[in-house]
Chain A
């Protein structure tokens, strides 16, 4: 192989995109964390800030998309380059949707802030913790091209699904016992749903990491 790298600038563009994917994932994770903290602290100002900051993730997503399109158009990538660029595009869409879920939690928090909490928040912060762990690992798997780590996210997504169902059942019981609590219970169900969807997006990212490395497209949770 030649010692000259004819695609040096292309490779640099790929590395920059990778770094921005990690940055975007970190931003989305922070937004979700801040949204759940605002919920727990009943902090309307912070909930507003989360809703507003979603726009930063949206902007980064559009910028990444434009850069990917430009590289597809001008560089005609093949093989691993093609897999990487299409994966980056797909991953940025999932991360952008994750941030939308943070925004959704912020909005739900604002709607229910004037009323007392139905019960101490236990499962929702727990789910958020699992989601944050999954996000850290999926970004790690992306950077290290670690298929095994990406695959490990499937069972954790199943755990999140189970917890969401548990939250749903508990809150349903609340609504049956006390119809006055219905709107607050629904908001909490919505929040649990947002977190569960965030975990689904992380699972999608994990599947893209597997595709990027192996070329195989497959679901990691059944």
Chain B
């Protein structure tokens, strides 16, 4: 299991949870009392000799949903992966520049990337619950790896995480069933619950709805909006309507650079750069 951690990237680590089991306010708020802002400054990234990101400078505000849009291959997923030090897991991959989480450079030599990936969780395109684990154990997995054995704490955190992911009511009577027995949309919310269980400050979502039907998509979008009351969300999507629906700010990327970044409403009704205009009106890309 431990060997596979790095290839299971939305499996994040956790420090011992000390919260009591009290429910407080919103489900997500009960889990999370902190949120982080991200600042990218002149971030470059390479896959061997391929220069995938060419100097990204972007300020991602706290408790906002920030969407990143752009044509395939523009570097949006790569950028997302530089925000929690996942890019460097790819053989031959390199990063330069600075990414600060609450002012702290996550690429500084003393920083443990595992801790960063705990604080900056991730959800992927295809729901990837651990196939051999139950619903309960999927959510509890990160806590268990962090050494938490107390059944009460585990159960409470699982419940609150599933509530935060708006899945609890649907699965509370089958927590012992395999995670893979859920529908696609439920599996994606399970993965979100798993990410939330370790109390991240930022949640990165990489095309989280591209494998889901419209109703499940809208549920995830609503969830992202709800979670953004407590944590910072960055979502990569090639669905512009989704970006328009879900985000407060949108960045348009092209060829490894940010072309335009601003309030979502303005970007989708009155973009400043003609390349943004051409892309979002479907005239290229």
Contacts and interface: CB of A to CB of B under 8 A. Distances in A.
Interface of A: 1-2, 5-7, 10, 76-83, 214-215
A78 B240 contact: yes
Nearest to B276: A79
Nearest to A6: B282
B278 A83 contact: no
Contacts of A82: 268-269
B255 interface: no
B7 interface: no
B270 interface: yes
B281 interface: yes
B244 interface: yes
A81 B279 CA distance: 12
A215 B284 CA distance: 22
Interface residues of B, number: 15
A9 B243 CA distance: 25
A82 B281 CA distance: 9
A80 B283 CA distance: 12
Contacts of B280: 78-79
Nearest to B244: A78
B21 interface: no
Contacts of B271: 79
A83 B283 contact: no
Contacts of B282: 6-7, 10, 78
Contacts of A83: 269-270
B281 A80 contact: yes
Contacts of A10: 282
A1 B284 CA distance: 6
Chain A contact surface mostly? loop
Given A215-B269, A215-B270, A79 B277 contact: yes
Nearest to A11: B283
A78 B281 contact: yes
Nearest to B270: A215
B152 interface: no
B241 interface: yes
B268 A78 contact: yes
B277 A80 contact: yes
10 contacts: A2-B284, A7-B281, A7-B282, A78-B269, A78-B281, A79-B270, A80-B281, A82-B269, A83-B269, A215-B269
Nearest to A214: B270
- Select the residue from A77, A79, A81, A215 with max chain B CB neighbours within 10 A: A79
Contact of B278 (A1, A76, A215): A1
A79 B269 contact: yes
B257 to A, nearest CB: 17
Contact of A6 (B244, B270, B277, B283): B283
Interface string B229-269: 00000000000110010000000000000000000000011
